[in-house]
Amino acid sequence: MTSHIREQAKLITAQLLSGAGIASGYAVGGLLAEEITGQTSMAGFAQMSVILGAGLIAYPLAVLAGRSGRRKALTLGFGIGTLGAVVVLIGVALHFLPLFMLGMMMCGSSTASGLQARYAAVDLADPAAAGRAMSLVVWATTVGSVLGPSFTAPGAHLGETLGMNGLAGPYLISMVAFALATLSASTLTKTVAAGTDHAGEPGVDDPGHDGEGTTDNNDGAASAKETAATNRSTTTEATAPPPMKLGEALRFALARPVPLFAMITIIAGQMMMTNVMVMTPVHMDHQEFSLGAIGIVVSIHIAGMYALSPVFGWMADRWGSGVVIAGGAGIFVLTIALGVIDAVAPESSMVLLSTALSLLGIGWSMFLIGGSSLLTASVPAHAKVPLQGASDSAMNLGGALMAAMAGAVLGAGGFLWINLMATFVLVIAVGFSIRAIPLMKWPGREGTVDHPRRAAASDQAGTASDRAGAVE
């Protein structure tokens, strides 16, 4: 097993464990908030706290990754999630809502770390396989999300056995899962700075180079290749500019259609998904569907979010990120159409809602992988990490905003307005694509800014002009 594969396996393991921890507590978070306060209206704020926490911690973790490498950032992020589960347990034991909500926000750090892990996979991958590397880490969440809910009942039983509130028991499972994810992240041996360019490109860092001097010496050819890459990395490290500050990086993206569109894609996908997803169970409850039926629809939605991600990663590598994003936009259109049909029909349909929620997850996955791949390929190394962190923060904060607004929107206009709200977000995203489309890679034509080798070369040739343009 090569060193790169070992590192990818550690990232996938951490993501799987984190996903299981998040899913284990997901089902009971709202119930705990309701029990502590005695108010049903507070149930939604528990999950919103997780999303908000992920949004607030994503950028600081990205800054740490840029300064000290992905290993320290991911270890800290999953570690904060572990402490968050402990704080949740203490808050429930004390029946103290502020402490409980603080713990939920801290649990969001594991979500943010899972999102950053996809970029860590890209840092380690060959540029021709960057989309697939990213998608495999995203796909690992499928396994965790499927396994996590199965731990809810055993966790509740464990909590009762230990004399705790049974509903808090699943957070014992979350605590252990997050701790194991922290351990897996801490064993990453590659300390190459986050956002560095890929091996095999002229004059760029080799992600297989370990800053501590570790190399894979399985054979002479590999050793010679890594030695050359190390020399190249050392030279580049001495001359490479430091990561941009947040304001500078945002000005850089705002002045360039492709990275701006990539960020909008990531944010819009999360906002549309959150808006429709959080209100579909409420809509189904109003239509007198059983809890079992609601659970089936949610499970189908989660499968759609993650199960096909390797396919979308392969598509991004083969045909370009634009194809994946365009496909995702089409899927979102179909999702919204099915939602509108169900909203105006005399009775809701289990088939329609299941199909719509499955497609909603697929569209989100295509926007996340396509947008993330496009963002990584379309900016120079010193802009990658701050923009990655900014987009992850914005997508979670945008999701939290939609979750907070969705209840009022559903109450005012029903499920129809929820889907019209998603339509509005999609139209904005499509509007930002107009200037970006001519510059992107499409089948039969390389993009001017998002082709891996061209982007890597432009990092070296255009660093000074890029920085100057970002300050203008």
Q: Summarize pLDDT for 116-156 with one digit per residue, the tens.
A: 988 888 888 777 788 888 888 888 877 777 676 667 778 88
- pLDDT at 193 > cutoff 90: no
Tell me what the mean pLDDT of segment 241-246 comes to: 78
Q: Do both 279 and 418 map to the same domain? A: yes
Same domain, yes or no, for 188 and 232?
A: yes
Q: Is residue 179 part of a domain?
A: yes
**b/e code 22-60 from CB counts within 10 Å (16+ = b):** bbbbbbbbbebbbbbeeeeebbbbbbbbbbbbbbbbbbb
Verify that 255 and 161 share a domain, yes or no: no
* Average pLDDT over the chain, rounded to an integer: 81
pLDDT band with cut points at 50, 70 and 90 for residue 454: very low
Residues 149, 129 share a domain = yes
- Judgement on whether residues 289 and 155 belong to the same structural domain of the protein: no
Residue reference for tokens 């899972």: 114
Both 405 and 256 in one domain: the answer is yes
Question: Are 144 and 19 contacting, i.e. CB atoms less than 8 angstroms apart?
Answer: yes
Same domain, 260 and 152: no
Please choose, from the candidates 87, 149, 82, the residue with its C-alpha nearest in 3D space to the C-alpha of residue 109: 82
Domain for residue 339, yes or no?
yes
416 found inside a domain? yes
- Contact between 109 and 77 under an 8 Å Cβ cutoff? The reply is yes
**Higher local confidence (pLDDT), 168 or 191:** 168
Cα gap 317→21, rounded to integer Å = 31
Q: What is the pLDDT of residues 15-59, one digit of tens each?
A: 889 988 887 777 678 778 878 888 766 766 777 888 899 999 999
> CA-to-CA distance for 60 and 57, rounded, in angstroms?
6
Answer yes or no: are the C-beta atoms of 429 and 329 closer than 8 Å: yes
Cα–Cα distance for residue pair 455/453, rounded to 1 Å: 5
Same domain membership, residue 259 and residue 140 = no
Report residue 190's pLDDT band, with 50, 70 and 90 as the boundaries: low
First CA to last CA across the chain, in angstroms?
47
Of residues 82, 75, 83, the one with CA closest to residue 113 = 75
Higher pLDDT among residues 305 and 194, named by residue: 305
List, as own/partner pairs, every contact residues 100-105 make where C-beta atoms lie below 8 angstroms and the sequence separation is at least 24, other chains included.
100/32, 100/33, 100/36, 100/46, 101/33, 101/45, 101/46, 101/49, 104/29, 104/46, 104/47, 104/49, 104/50, 104/53, 105/49, 105/50, 105/52, 105/53, 105/56
**How many domains does one find in the chain?**
2
- The residues that bridge with 330 in the sheet, in sequence order, are none
pLDDT above 80 (res 443): no
Q: Tell whether 233 and 272 lie within a shared domain.
A: no
| Residue 401 covered by a domain | yes
Residue 328 has pLDDT above 80, yes or no: yes
271 shares a domain with 178: no
**Residue 312: what pLDDT?**
94
Question: Which among 186, 211, 240 is the end of a domain?
Answer: 240
Residues 297, 179, single domain; the answer is no
Domain final residue, candidates 208, 240, 272: 240
| pLDDT digits 0-9 by tens, 72-100 | 999 999 999 999 999 999 999 999 999 99
Domain of 146 in residue numbering reads as 1-197+221-240
Q: 446-449, long-range: CB within 8 Å, 24+ apart, which pairs?
A: 447/258, 447/320, 447/322, 449/256, 449/258, 449/377, 449/378
Task: Count CB-CB contacts under 10 A for residue 432.
Answer: 16
Residue 253 sits in a domain of what CATH number?
1.20.1250.20
Residue 59 lies in a domain: yes
Tokens of 459: 């990092």
* Residue percentage of the chain with pLDDT more than 90: 39
Domain match, 314 and 165 both? no
Among 240, 270, 303, the domain boundary falls at 240
Of 328, 349, 325, give the one whose Cα is nearest residue 338: 349
